Amino acid sequence: MRTKTIVAGAGAAGLLGLGLYVAVPASAADPSPSPSASARPGHPGGHGKGHPHRGPRAFRGVHGEATVQRKDGFHLAAWQRGEITSVSATGVTVRSADGVSWTWTADGKTRVRKDREKSALKNLANGDQVVVAGERSGNTRTARLIRVPERR
């Protein structure tokens, strides 16, 4: 029973990390502290741009996978942060800082965001720094989101 609890906790932590890694940087426009007009009483700064854990550097992981359970069974969620080394009509290859290279397939469900705007696979280029999130089935990684952060 103790082993199941540890495994479940580790899986939940991995899934939470993946969700935060994809959602938080995508929604943060500016990681620097600033006052928020939507501040609630008892919550200094509210929940706006000034949150100290928001921004692309809040999570330093470079790639990972987590098994998640859905109504139709178990799926392997995957994510990667790195530099595009190859772009084709069907996907991208990304190399992380630790040297790991993964090829991601793109399909009709893949969303591409570049400089906080909707974009397309054809607008990506070798050398672009990206965050990719999706699923792995066997040896195929399918991207659901490819995001090029805003240049500063």
Mean pLDDT (whole number) for 140-150: 94
Q: Report which listed range, 14-18, 53-57, 108-112, is most confident.
A: 108-112
Distance of CA 9 to the CA centre of its chain: 21
Q: For the domain that residue 117 is a member of, what is the CATH number?
A: 2.40.50.320
**How many other C-beta atoms lie within 10 A of the C-beta of residue 119?**
16
Residue-wise pLDDT for 46-98, tens only, equals 444 444 444 545 457 899 999 999 999 999 999 999 999 999 999 999 999 99
Residue-wise pLDDT for 125-143, tens only, equals 999 999 999 999 999 999 9
Cα–Cα dist 102/78, whole Å: 10
- Report how many domains make up the chain: 1
* Domain residue limits at 16: 2-148
Cα–Cα dist 149/132, whole Å: 11
